[in-house]
Structure 1
Amino acid sequence: MNSIHARLSKNSSRRDMIERNAASIPVIDGSTFRTSNFLVKVGFGTPIKELSLVLDTGSDLTWTQCQPCETCYKQTEPLFDRTKSSTYATIPKTDSVCKYVTRPGTVPPSAASLCYYGIKYGDGSLSTGFFSKETLTLSTDKITGFLFGCGTNQKGDFDLEAGIMGFSQEKASIVTQTAKKYSKIFSYCLPSSAGSTGHLSFGSQSLPSKIIYTKLVNKKSHYGLDLIGIGLGGTKLNISESVFTTPGTIIDSGTVFTYLPPLAYPTFRDAFRAAMTAYPLAPPRPGDDLDTCYDLSKATTVKVPEISLFFKDGKVVGFPGKSSLVTYTKTQVCLGFAPYEKGDDETIIGNQMHRTMEVVYDVAKQRIGFFPKGCT
């Protein structure tokens, strides 16, 4: 809409401002790609090849599987062929930007003089390949010389997506690379189901008013929050604030469920169950982290309590209760919360809880904002 208005505008300075400083692309539920994450479709190369990548605020690097590939997992879309793009360029290992990525211990002879990256995730999955430059297309915006990983070796627990788009605060992330263009501001609204579409927006022009902002806390490459409590329907549960503040909290679009400290989870789970006594409990899925499931097959309407997060600066954000539920079948709908295993106490606010909320990352002002009903 902004692009159309800009092109129709007779004011050239207004046109330049809108087209230069804002972009928006759809976000889809990843179920058709057999993933519980959310995907954005972007364009790589010249001519443009559209690829669907996981939207991940916990990743430092954007990468996609590249042809010719040595070890690649099966993906839905054709692999990106760097040899057929006129704007693709490798990076020498002596280039200063090569410091943005980690060079793995083993590098193939063909990459001895080139910048070669290796990235490993918490579940053991990894991607290695050429750290390169390419033209990235976001809607109608072209980002020339975009730094990304052209992955030629991938191993681990990947689904059918073409790779990952990294939105961390590190130098190789898309947020930092487009800082001059979009002022280190982006937001997203994750859709509630496969039948709905959300959005990913860059820049501040399309942000809603009345956003509830809370302070961003530095947690290395992750986005940290000053969480001090959790509750239902605006009522804070009786859990010591230190349970949350000592290990800290992060919000991560690349983590599916929400994980609470072991000392907090039982209190929250029991309160949630008490509010849901109208619906019969169902057995959890074997091997799953989720232990609170319901059979909603006979319910004509379902009322789920709002989940409230309490922050140190006094802000309270209410998340729709239904967004906290993960639907497997009509007879098995589970609360998308789980306790950390012993020894891991950090709270992670996962992507299922983000659904239908406009989540704003104003990195320049070091704050994160929330706005309800940003999408369906």
Structure 2
Amino acid sequence: MSRIPTLLLLCSLADLILILNSALLVNSNGLALRLIPPYSPESPLFQRNLSHEERIKRYVFQSDVRTNHLTATSSSNIRGRIDVQLFHYIVKVGIGTFKSKPPYKEYHLEMDTGSNLVWMQCEGCTKCFNQIPKPFPKEKSSSFHPILIKNMLKTYECEYEDGASTRGVLARETFYLRSNSGGLATVKNLEFGCGLYNDMQYGNYRNNKIAGIMGLGWGDPSFAKQLSPQIKGKFSYCLPVVSKKTPSTYLRFGDDIEQSKNFRSTPLYRMNISSSYYVDLQGISLNKTRLKINPKVFEFKNNGSSGGCIIDTGTPYSRIITPAFDILKLELVKYFSRFKNLKRRIGDLGLELCYERSKPEGFKNLPDLTFHLGGSQAADFVMKPEAVFEVVRQSRPMKSREYFCLAMVKNTKMSILGSHQQTNQRIVYDTMNKRLLFYQEDCSKIP
């Protein structure tokens, strides 16, 4: 018997929350999907009693795990198993065709801009994690069609940096995205992985609702690539400042993405066979003063394992290549030495540079940072203080104090523009033209 063809994938996990059951169907070439931010009670992964400081610690931890995945050179680089992360986009979709009302089954999938495969746990799995509802009953769906190669089932294997994995068969199926008006956007013959051996930790959580993952990366199997002709290769988001009162925003596809004359543009790169989106980081400014950082420290290394800069929603806090981070940290120390009400603080949050204030000021008197990106014109990615720092308020008897920390961490291998640093920016991925478009926007006021 000939060997069954196998698709081997390196996959990864992402952050924040997206729910598709409130999708707005705009037209045949555009979708606007409601984004539910982290810590919203609407999230299937919501934890009610998580403090701000605990959230920061988990963001740092997730950033470490994500970076380990992005700098891994092969599927054999598996680290120790970790607890499932809690800062992901979650998509709720209808799948399949059944003799029922509605004629499909609804499932939550974790969305990932850094991986390609769309997959979910299927009925008949030999190793399964607990989930609500039960795994997808593929044999009962009239629109389920396994993909065959020489009359053999085409299979996949997907390994994650945290030690989790899934493998199964590749198939085509009908997906449904529900609109606010009650209508449905139907996606027929979408290729996805039907997971039959799933070593995932979702089931460790009571009443787990996560059934699999939806990839949005560069590769052909990704949701964005499969829909590329309809959405013109474009998707976009705008992330508000995360808090307990963070409003909803929208993930937009195709013609639903609004055009702006004020956007800046930088090339998007795909390095080797990576599913990640790379940009050309060339320098950093503190306020408007360019730091003396050699641009070569940001260059991509052709060995395929390090260097360069990735834009990634799955990394909460940006990672800055060590030589550049050390210069940035030194210049920030000089900047804050002018303020008499600040005291250097050594904490346990996992962030290197923190200061305690004698009185609360929020983000007042904190500087902007700019990432200088390559392109035919100036592509300055300007970050306001709320995208650069974390501010933590502490209430004590008779007095309130606060401290703030630089929400970035150094890394020896590469740089990553994380989701916290993308706060209040309209980000547009134009994959057909291989460009990243962006401009500042108040993401809390988007209709």
Whether the TM-score (by the shorter chain) exceeds 0.5 is yes
Runs of 4+ aligned structure 1 residues displaced above 6 Å come to none
Paired position in structure 2 for 1:132: 171
> Matches of 1:300 and 1:249 in 2, distance apart?
33
What amino acid maps onto 1:269 in structure 2?
Answer: K
Number of the residue aligned with 1:306: 368
Corresponding residue of 1:176? 225
Match of 1:263 in 2: 323
What is the CA-CA distance between 1:251 and the residue it aligns to?
Answer: 0.9
Amino acid of the structure 1 residue aligned with 2:283? G
Q: Give the deviation of 1:147 after TM superposition.
A: 0.9
Shift of 1:187: 0.8
Q: In the alignment, which residue of structure 1 is the partner of 2:255?
A: 204
Distance 2:439 2:362 in 1: 25
The correspondence of residues 318-337 of structure 1 with structure 2, limited to 5 A, is: 318-326=382-390, 330=394, 334-337=405-408
Change in Cα spacing, 1:79 to 1:374, as seen in structure 2 (3 Å) is farther
Superposed displacement of residue 75, structure 1: 5.3
TM-score if structure 1 supplies the norm length? 0.79
Change (3 A) 1:273 1:134: farther
Cα 1:116–1:232, aligned 2, differ >3 Å: closer, same or farther?
A: same
Q: 1:215 aligns with which of 259, 262, 267?
A: 267
- Aligned match for 2:111, one of 47, 55, 77: 55
Residues matched between the structures, number: 339
1:115-139 residue CA offsets vs partner (Å, 9 max, x unmatched) = 2211123343322222222212234
Distance 1:299 1:259 in 2: 28
Report the CA distance between 1:230 and its aligned residue.
Answer: 1.6
1:52 positional shift = 3.4
Which of 19-28 and 349-358 deviates more? 349-358
User: Contact conserved, 2:224 with 2:233, CA < 8 A, in 1?
Assistant: yes
Indicate conservation of the 8 Å contact 1:25/1:199, yes or no.
Answer: yes
Q: Which of 341, 353, 360 is the equivalent residue of 1:292?
A: 353
- Aligned AA for 2:281? L
> How far did 1:349 drift?
1.2
Distance 1:165 1:353, change over 3 A: farther
Partner of 1:107: none
- 1:47-92: per-residue Cα shift (whole Å, max 9, x none)? 3444333332210112223334433445576544434544333222
Deviations 1:110-169 (A, max 9, x none): xxx422211123343322222222212234321111111222333356686443221112
Partner Cα separation in structure 2 for residue 200 and residue 251 of structure 1: 16
Gaps of 5+ in 1: 1-5, 8-17, 96-112
Give yes or no for contact 1:234–1:318 (8 Å, CA) kept in 2: no
Asked whether the equivalents of residues 306 and 320 of structure 1 are also in contact (C-alpha less than 8 Å), the reply is yes
Distance verdict in 2 for CA 1:86–1:262, change over 3 Å: same
1:91 to 147, 150, 160: 147
Counterpart residue identity of residue 374, structure 2: K
- The 5-angstrom pairing of residues 1-376 of structure 1 reads 19-31=27-39, 32=43, 33=45, 35-46=86-97, 47-73=103-129, 79-94=135-150, 113-138=152-177, 139=179, 140-155=184-199, 161-193=210-242, 195-209=246-260, 210-219=262-271, 220=273, 221-246=275-300, 247-275=307-335, 279-285=342-348, 288=350, 290-294=351-355, 298-303=359-364, 304-313=366-375, 314-326=378-390, 330=394, 334-341=405-412, 344=413, 346-373=414-441, 375-376=443-444
SS of residue in 2 equivalent to 1:263: helix
Indicate conservation of the 8 Å contact 1:123/1:157, yes or no: no
**1:67 is paired with a residue of what secondary structure?**
coil
Structure 2 CA distance, aligned partners of 1:49 and 1:275? 56
Q: For the structure 1 residues 335 and 49, does the alpha-carbon distance in structure 2 shift closer, same or farther, using more than 3 Å as the test?
A: farther
Unpaired runs of at least 5, structure 2? 1-23, 47-85, 98-102, 301-306, 395-401
**TM-score, L = length of structure 2:** 0.67
Instruction: Give the AA of the match of 2:264.
Output: I
SS where residue 264 of structure 1 aligns?
Answer: helix
Cα 1:284–1:114 change in 2 (3 A) is: farther
